Amino acid sequence: MLVAGCGPKAGISEVRMASAPSREASCALDLVQVDITAVTFNQQWEVLGYVTLADYSVQDPSAKENRELVRPRACAMGGTAVANAIGGTNTNQLGQQASGISYMVLRPKTFAAQPTAF
């Protein structure tokens, strides 16, 4: 059993789903709201991967501390935007709260030129 107080993040994990050229660690990122069930989502965005932050306290997805942890990882994946994919908070039997936030790393989808008929 883990018991923790205030301090550094309990864990940061990354999952890469597509290959894209890296961007500088301090690149500009937009925090966007998306509906992954909408048909337009797959037409507009390419999901490059996920960055997940686990902590021993309740987290704000748009908090500066979280942005500073996510930014270099999302930029390294080639992302131009991030969206809050999943977030949750649990309370254990001792009354301690823990949370996790997953950020979807996105870039606009580009379509290849239409094939030429022969």
Q: What are phi and psi of 92, to 5 degrees?
A: -85, 180
Fold of 11-108: Translation Initiation Factor IF3 (3.30.110)
Arithmetic mean of pLDDT over the chain:
79
Structure tokens at 4: 């923790």
- Residue of 9 and 2 predicted with greater confidence: 9
How far apart CA 32 and CA 73 sit, in angstroms, is 17
Q: For residue 94, what pLDDT is reported?
A: 52
How far apart CA 69 and CA 54 sit, in angstroms, is 12
Q: For residue 98, what pLDDT is reported?
A: 54
- Residue of 9 and 85 predicted with greater confidence: 85
How far apart CA 98 and CA 78 sit, in angstroms, is 29
Q: What is the pLDDT of residues 48-97, one digit of tens each?
A: 999 988 875 666 778 888 889 999 999 999 999 999 886 555 545 555 55
* Domain range list for the chain: 11-108
